[in-house]
Structure 1
């Protein structure tokens, strides 16, 4: 019982700290991950989407291409995790992405087109999650790149036409997070 009270106290403290750390006049918003116990500065322009549970998310609007996807704006989800070194890179990515696909409850989607991308300070792998029968449906592009002690996993979603025509969005998002490593 005492342990449960201690855990609740810690969580309440983190919530209060996060609320007071997101003042609009700050250059960066300090994000406290209660699930993964990790802190990271998120540049203003990203904001918490309010989702609970499976993903820690920020909405990101690059200010271009909205006409390609109607009301669907790209979503950026970040999961910080340590890669188990016993897995090969490709195996790890596919396991992680298949797990996420199940969580997103998109049984008709397919994961394909594994592509290595480069950015300042490192590299990553991008995977498309394409619902081929409906190119205007919400699809996901995943990017995973290495940090020194922590890895970042990014999920950018939007219509397939939007994602296809706005690769600059990926570059901007990946470079922004690369600077925070």
Structure 2
């Protein structure tokens, strides 16, 4: 499942986030596209999903979410490192992943000190950066796609305000369309 991070803003449009995290299969000529082949991971050492609730806003994220995601990614790294000789390109890529994840997890863990708006924005951005790192493993049995997903809002108040803005913009567009149609 998906998780969220905090820190700086992610320079990808919201539409790209929705495309990446869509649970629906892609369609080709009206038919479901075949899933891309996945590597045979067998019984790799990743942890299984836990039962902590899914975060929907940055203020829902807890240190446990970061720990679970870190354990999953460390399991991937152990699996990759164990299959390849030291110094090989694959083993180096696994070490690089471990370092990158460590840096991002450290940044996320710094965002659990308080619930100030600036800290919540940082937590949201850090979580979302980790979501882009973990996305290639979506589909594995150990990947918790429900909980490990992008966070779109810092708190419930921001989510409500975003919904109000969306409704207002839709109402404005509907009024404009009515005005244009009546003017014909």
**TM class, shorter-length:** under 0.3
| TM-score, length basis structure 1 | 0.23
| TM-score, length basis structure 2 | 0.23
Structure label with greater radius of gyration: 2
